[in-house]
A and B are shown apart, each in its own frame.
Chain A
């Protein structure tokens, strides 16, 4: 088991005929992912990487039974591509594209009701944008992550940063701690599922025994995750936060701080996580040791793992 994707996921690539799309399709195939089709409006009937290309997701799903879409289209077409994916009936879309206007994302959340109800009951789930994708090592790699850095195991990773996901997954792999699923939720202010949904999914996943949360400055997702973990999780969580020395660069005026009720600093996030009993690594390379300790101790509430 795993979350979001596994060995039986059938993947359609929106934007497969583009440079990025075809490059990463090859890589996903090489990692063993069941990529079954591509979609590019106006290019239906072509073949890329030996796979059929369709004009719409609806057609691709009807012909191939795809249930996951990964999206590589340029930013200005991204909103339409996500609407197409939802209409096409896939249960998960992973939006890799960066540089999408915030307004487009807000409109998507509102038009598709993306945040309505518990994640396990939603008919359509979006990961991203501006994210590296989702990997269930040895089974399915959806996105742009390098499959060779990961190994199968029981540590779930949810991260706002792509390269830090690599760094931490590789660190875990090197000490023999494999991963159940690694989710890069993306760094944009408005995105699909986040820490809370992934924590909920990992908690319910029998294969996952411990969770690594990789956060960074800005917003209050980490503070909310800390509160959620303290009240809803039995499995141990370990965190790493980047940005302790980041200058208060682009401030969103004063209004931003009033909205979130948090300063958004790394220090505030680490304090909230530690107050919830979640150890916070000070360097990425401290994470594997903290995970090993957490696994040895069991849940931070002393509950049984993998019940």
Chain B
């Protein structure tokens, strides 16, 4: 595998020709990729975008021949430096992986083996690729690799285990592993999707500088258009296993030719947020064709509904009032000692009835702890929570049950929060059963009503969670939360795991439901772009404290705190002008 491979006549580093991938199922082979063609040259950064299920991750896996389950390459070729990897033997692939093609996986939480130390996992990469020999040299190389990936105190951390690392640090380890052998091509599959915007930016900057120094080609897979446009010269848009559009990034974003790309751009909240703002400020001067993007209109409509709501709610008693809320955890520092960690530090806020407050901040800022305290899943150390005029800290038994009835949660992971063994109808009816509402027949009617409310077909009641898409599952979770006709819904990262198109639909649904049912939302998220389209008020949390709280427009237009500005600047694609 030298650079001067005589068979490499095309001169491209990577050339994918008519690539087809099929998955064997009980009903025959299902095609996941249908004739993919693209090329990459040394030092080039190419981004593949598309929603989940579009085949972008499958393309990445096919290149290094690590297709999951029953997947196999059923046609075409993957020419890497002129050599067809689709026909390579197992040992040839083992030689190429790691050494010539590096890979940075999507989810830093599940991609490191929990039972081995970080050092062990980096060192085995170094040994497998023959980068160093001898215990001391391997160790030194491992430290070097981790330091390059941006882990400053690498030497101390070698003996630590993945669970002792934060998501960002784990992703740095994975990037270090991927780049350890200075491969000519690095495939990064959603390398930062699981991370906060600020961490995301630091990691991507770092990745860019590393690949630049070594002229490593970077194949970057993401569902975030803004991110792709900011980071890649070339953009490939995939839809249902096909490339629908490819070309220079800015050109595609400003003049999308394919309707799917147009929808994708319209739905991306990081870009849409600019539009809502301009719609409010200068109604006459909008350049884009509103009618061409359905989701865009909905978001504007949602924003208008919100303004009306806000006017009505002013002066009324707040639905939620939180005063001087503090939560201290004991964390173990080794041995039998422990020290106090203040997760929530003297937090106060009030949410007027029928409005939405967004609580934003990086992970670890305490925003989810606030949600847990509010829902009564954790006990506050001090401070009070007043819901609909009633203090909650001393509620027990029946009163607590009544409180839960008025306040329902929707959680982040639509895969994890539905019981796979219960069908959708039973899942939605469960809160009704627990609270003893109605009889069997009336509960069934209510389930049908709820399914209509969240725009799901009624037949879905008999299906099971694994038969549903992520967006449908999140709708089910919302329907379940609404079953008891609550006044307050706590949404903890409720749309963070969803694709842009689905995200836009869910946000629209939430806005509609709020207008219809006078709901009060506490919306917890790390994604400021989403905040712009859904929230009336924003509270920014940093290290357990609320550092800034104001109306959404104030926070976005005149952020007072540096931390808020950093969060805003870190929204990918915020500096790029979009054209639809």
A and B assemble together:
no
Chain A residues within 8 Å of B, Cβ to Cβ: none
Chain B residues within 8 Å of A, Cβ to Cβ: none
